[in-house]
Amino acid sequence: MCLEEMIQGNESLQKECTSESTDEEDGILEEVMAFADFYPTEDNQKLHHEMLQDKARNVAYRSAIMQNHQHIQDKVVLDVGCGTGILSMMSVKHGKASKVFAVEASGFAEHTQTLIEANGMSDKIQVFDGKIESVQLPHKVDLIISEWMGTFLLFEWMIESVIFARDHWLNDGGVVWPSHAGVYLVPCCAGELYKNKVSFWESVEDFDFSSLVPLAKDEFFSSPLYNHVMKQEDSLATPQQVFQLNMKTVTRQDLEEVSHTFHFTISKAGTMHGFASWFQVDFAGFPVNSKPFVFLNTGPDYPLTHWKQTLFMMDSPITVEQGDTVEGAITMTRNKEWRRHLEVHLALSVSSVSGQNAKTFTKLFPIWR
């Protein structure tokens, strides 16, 4: 689910957790107890509508199940945050799972039950109305399936619920889907946006409005643009993966701060306005799961998804030539107080092939606070 939907769906985004418990489990529980309010109950057909309309998303999950049906057949599956139950139903229909535990924290669970009955699957799919952290499942499972990804992959931090499910309910040797999740970054041009939001103020009706330029930059570019649709030709270099999570081993602590250095070589002359980012999740993990495995990539080289791309605009554009280098580091830090939020720090230096002095930038972007 993407950020825009979440915010529209719940205007009163509350501080989901303020207290850090010394007890790890209590800490998770406290944080997640507050999470139900984060997902609205009345309006969420709209949210499910948007997710279910996302063909690339649905196809990735369905293909992963179909291509691995021999491993899923007669196995027990746990669907964490089942929503409408779509992934549970796919697991039964295409994977021939013997049993699916479908867990949903929001009030939507009552509709899920009806949908499962309407599709004649109530003997196979058992719906649990509650948070994964508080429901008691009959026994452990062979496969955990979940669609937990948010803006910049991690926003909302539903990943924690999947980690909790893995640590409590996955059999030894079981599989978590998606199995890996990686974030990508590329320096890019966003000329139209810059023109529209910033250059616009330089002259309005032939009057000099340029004193408003700093205000415009602050208003539009101090946070990332969550709903950016990037064209392939906006890329100024080859995208790089800046971090990857292995869902079988990642811990909550690993996600408090993630840092990575990058080195891009500009492949096309142009104006660099900032960086675009997106994620890919993979569906690997079964013993004979040979590559290429199924993946879902939300970048500009693949069909558009409801996550679109995230754009980090620098305050001032910079002209780059082929061969220039963009070096630096990206650090993602989880917000210590607003635990479902994070901030992204970019520090970089652009060096030109022609030997001019390198230009350096640093900027901190909150997502969402």
Catalytic residues: 147, 156
User: Per CB under 6 A, which region of 128-136, 267-275, 282-290, 357-365 contacts ligand SAH?
Assistant: 128-136
Distance between CA atoms of residues 369 and 240, nearest Å: 26
Should residue 82 be labelled a site residue for ligand SAH when binding is judged by CB under 6 A? yes
User: What angle is formed at CA 116 by the lines to CA 285 and CA 165, rounded to 5 degrees?
Assistant: 35
Q: Is 310 in the site for ligand SAH (CB under 6 A)?
A: no
Look at residues 245, 284, 293, 275 and name the one whose alpha carbon lies nearest to residue 361.
275
Q: Which residues pair with 363 in a beta bridge?
A: 346
Give the SS3 label for residue 294: strand
Given the complex with ligand SAH, which of 126 and 199 has the nearer CB atom? 126
Copy the structure tokens of residue 44: 């969420």
Give the CA-trace dihedral at 200, 203, 204, 206, to 10 degrees.
-150
The backbone torsions φ and ψ at residue 343, rounded to the nearest 5 degrees and listed phi first, read -135, 150
The residues that bridge with 175 in the sheet, in sequence order, are 143
> What residues contact residue 155 under an 8 Å CB cut-off, 6+ apart?
3, 6, 340, 341, 342, 367, 368
Please give the Cα distance from 82 to 76 (Å, whole number): 15
The CA R_g of the chain, rounded to the nearest whole Å, is: 22
Residue 108 or 368 having the CB closest to ligand SAH: 108
Say if CB 243 and CB 260 are below 8 A apart.
yes
Among positions 104, 234, 282, 324, the unique one binding ligand SAH when judged by CB under 6 A:
104
- Among residues 17, 51, 60, 185, the one that binds ligand SAH under rule CB under 6 A: 51
Q: Is 35 in the site for ligand SAH (CB under 6 A)?
A: yes
CB of 316 to ligand SAH, least distance (A): 38
Binding of residue 346 to ligand SAH (CB under 6 A): no
Identify which of residues 29 and 347 has a Cβ nearer to ligand SAH in the complex.
29
Residue from 68, 151, 161, 309 binding ligand SAH (CB under 6 A): 161
Q: How far is the CB of 103 from ligand SAH (least distance, A)?
A: 5
Helix, strand, coil fractions of the chain, as percent rounded to 5: 30, 35, 40
Instruction: Report, in Å, the least distance between residue 104 CB and ligand SAH.
Output: 5
Q: Of the candidates 6, 92, 105, 185, which one interacts with ligand SAH according to CB under 6 A?
A: 105
**Is residue 344 close enough to count as binding ligand SAH by CB under 6 A?**
no
Q: Which is nearer to ligand SAH, 132 or 258 (CB)?
A: 132
Does residue number 350 form part of the binding site for ligand SAH (CB under 6 A)? Answer: no
| C-alpha span between 159 and 163 (Å, rounded) | 6
Q: Is 215 helix (H, G, I), strand (E, B) or coil?
A: helix
**One residue of 64, 86, 181, 326 binding ligand SAH per CB under 6 A:** 86
Q: Considering the complex, what minimum distance in angstroms separates the CB of residue 142 from ligand SAH? A: 18
Closest residue to ligand SAH: CB criterion: 81
The residue type at 156:
E
Span from 8-16, 131-139, 257-265, 337-345 in contact with ligand SAH (CB under 6 A): 131-139
Q: What does the binding site for ligand SAH look like in residue numbers (CB under 6 A)?
A: 1, 32, 35, 39, 51-52, 81-84, 86-87, 103-106, 108, 131-133, 147, 158, 161
